[in-house]
Copies of this chain bind each other. A is one copy, B any other.
């Protein structure tokens, strides 16, 4: 199969791709007719496609996300590659393809990621923190196996959220070794819970965020996670003014550092400083890595990267 990020202008392509979005539109002009405005994807990228000959039956047949076999041409439209579909049919069992092979996914198996997180949770010494972590992980359930960490900013792929957590846990283990004055339990707990409510803030399927949920828009993942912690604490009978609990909620509330980035309170614990910096380190380096990995063979510069303040990244010719 030809990977989408290798498509070049003018070539004809036949193969299996993921239908990531399907819209029925009408052509403009005197005799308008219906056509499909599509987004095709695979694990390497995505491309806009048009299917001008969509029939009435087609409208009942194709929905996103779905795996399809497709034939057509790559051409340039307003400086971007676009795909003109000539033939399209749904993939079937005999084709032998798994939809998950067509998604970008974390480079580690989701079950391994979740195991790693559970293992980290098990090392928390403080029984209250461990209880709260267990409650929240239970609440999330299987979503951890596939949720991305964001819509587009960073780790926007299958199991991206769990992958982000695991990498942050690795970094945290190094940091607490380098600076033993830090409270490891508090930091590990903070890492596991800091973005956990993104599973409620975002509506996602197959690692693709379609929209922010109602509670996501009106409350946001930071305050949602604090609600979950409050709920868990009440269940266990922890006083809401308990110092440990207050410190944990503080870590969640302050992990975006500044008010204009969504934190209602600013970091006032060393572990809160650490959580914010570890989060930044993993998010920004992942975005930089994705950007340079996505530069075409022949090129040197990525597109502007939103998570890196809209700067493009340069890929050096080779390692020196």
Contact = CB atoms under 8 A, between A and B. Distances in A.
Interface in A15-54: 23-26, 28-30, 32, 50, 52-53
A243 B311 contact: no
A263 B293 CA distance: 26
A237 B161 CA distance: 31
A267 interface: yes
Interface stretch (A59-67, A112-120, A253-261): A253-261
A217 interface: yes
A196 to B, nearest CB: 14
Contact of A285 (B50, B76, B215, B274): B274
A264 interface: yes
Interface residues of A, number: 93
Contact of A249 (B183, B218, B267): B218
Interface stretch (A94-102, A141-149, A170-178): A170-178
Interface in A261-306: 261-270, 273-274, 277-278, 280-281, 284-285, 288-289, 291-293, 300
B178 A311 contact: no
A167 to B, nearest CB: 7
B293 A181 contact: yes
Interface in A172-193: 174-175, 178-179, 181-186
Copies of the protein in its oligomer: 6
B240 A218 contact: no
A227 to B, nearest CB: 5
A73 B320 CA distance: 55
A127 to B, nearest CB: 9
Contacts of A277: 277, 280-281, 284-285
Contacts of A258: 259-260
A126 B316 CA distance: 14
B314 A218 contact: yes
A109 interface: no
Interface in A60-105: 73, 75-77, 79, 82, 84
Residue from the set A179, A278, A309, A314 with the largest chain B CB neighbour count within 10 Å: A314
Contact of A250 (B181, B185, B219): B219
Contact of A281 (B186, B234, B263, B281): B281
Given A32-B84, A264-B263, A215 B178 contact: no
Nearest to A319: B183
A223 interface: yes
19 contacts: A29-B52, A175-B281, A186-B320, A214-B243, A217-B268, A218-B249, A218-B250, A218-B268, A220-B253, A222-B264, A223-B249, A230-B231, A247-B316, A262-B264, A266-B311, A267-B311, A269-B316, A270-B291, A273-B288
